[in-house]
Amino acid sequence: MRYRKRFSIKIPFLPELSKNKRYAFKSSKVKNPSHRKAQDLITIMLKKKISGKTLNPPGNKLIVDVTIFKPNNRFDASNFVNPINDAVERATGINDRYYAGSYDWFIDRNNPSIIIVVGY
């Protein structure tokens, strides 16, 4: 996909970023602090990339592409998309209902990571 402007970050694979890890206990309403810390890492890194630059996508449509390099096949990559979008929303100020994009995953036992590309 062609971008006019794009910002990308790479973070280590963090299992606590999964939406299944959002709460401390399965049937609890207590938030898991490690889940929020993982989201905050994305927010901080994106804010550093974006600082001083204007995000003005046409029609407010932001493209968020996520590539997940999982350490094994135990994790469902789709469970990482919503928490990543929430972190991107906090970094950009653009509501995630205006996001387009895709996600993909691969197995990488040696270097599990997550690559997030935000652009328009």
For the chain, list the domains and their CATH numbers.
6-119 (3.30.1330.70)
pLDDT of residue 61: 86
Tell me the pairing of strands 99-107 and 62-70. Answer: parallel
pLDDT of residue 70: 96
CA distance 90 to 67: 20
Query: How does pLDDT run across 17-47, given as a tens digit for each residue?
Result: 999 888 777 666 778 889 999 999 999 999 9
Is the model's pLDDT at 113 over the cut of 60? yes
Is the model's pLDDT at 72 over the cut of 90? yes
